[in-house]
Amino acid sequence: MAEVMLLKRSEVQRLLKMSEALEAVERAFRLQAEGKATMPPKLYLELPQYHGDFRAMPAHINESAGIKWVCVYPGNRAHNLHTVVAIIILSDPRTGYPLAIMDGSYITDMRTGAAGGIAAKYLARKDSSIIGMIGAGAQARSQLMALREVLLETREVKVFDSLESARVEYAHEMRATLDLNVRPVSTTEEAAEADIVVLTTPSRKPVLLKQHVRPGTHINAIGADASGKQELEGEILKGAKIVIDDLVQASHSGEINVPLSEGVIKPEDIYGTLGEVVAGLKPGRESDEEITIFDSTGLAIQDIVCTKLVYEKAKQEEVPTFELL
């Protein structure tokens, strides 16, 4: 008899802390680089007539197996709905039986934020203290939460969004939530005057230009997660240390997908994966002057390790289960 746990967003949110997500995601990157994870590329179901898409993301890692069914609808913001909506099924890899079904939207936010935090830990300058946020949606919040955990000091956060109300609201909320000096700015150029620049937009044309990027900057390019999306001017990638999370996914739908297809960069210009850096197979930042870029597409292994963490904590609290099969 299979007993399945059902967890809604509020329960997942209560059980998953950013510090825990950072540890789990860093471990997932390491296991991936060591060949101890199985993760086929995302399967896309594109629905341009509805201005959105669905993605199936299965993975097996650390004695856990599961799949995330997630959709991305940028227009949902106008309807007061989440842009990213996801459900995750965690299964027992020994029997195939489902262990838990839970909201995956919050896990997606947290594990993506954690990936950005881990990237900054290994690729940003150790004295980084000024953060520039370009985009002020849900993902911008978890990215800042993670950076708050990994940076030794955060002196200032500047946020730009094309909607003035969004950047003002973000600054007010994150000042109160994280006790940081967060202020809205009116241009991407001003936001880019930072040690770490984080982009979380759904843009299909560059929003950050090479002339705005200073030597020594680390960039977390988070927003490009589908073919044709691009946040960085291609010239920024030339000469930068480009670190990806997964080559197949990044080539298809990450920040590098457009520059690769246009011949601005070549596959050999990609330095390596963040997993290789975390596992010590390749060095991270090697000088205070180099520009480093993390191209994040989001990995199913990140979802599964965070889902397993939530599941184990929920079991300790004896969360009710139901018979599914």
Give catalytic residue positions.
68
CB 223 within 8 A of CB 201: yes
CA dihedral 216, 198, 262, 40 (to 10 degrees): 110
Q: Quote the tokens at residue 148.
A: 């708050």
Q: Quote the tokens at residue 282.
A: 């390749």
Q: How far apart are CA 135 and CA 128, in angstroms?
A: 20
The string of DSSP letters for 70-87 reads EEE-GGGGGGT--SEEEE
CA torsion through residues 26, 32, 35, 38, sign: positive
Distance from chain centroid for Cα 220: 9
Name the helix (H) or strand (E) containing 301: helix 300-316
Task: Choose among 208, 178, 206: nearest CA to 196.
Answer: 208
Residue showing tokens 């240390």: 241
| In 266-322, alpha helices (H) | 274-278, 300-316
DSSP class of residue 209 equals -
CB 248 within 8 A of CB 41: yes
Task: Choose among 214, 205, 217, 274: nearest CA to 246.
Answer: 274
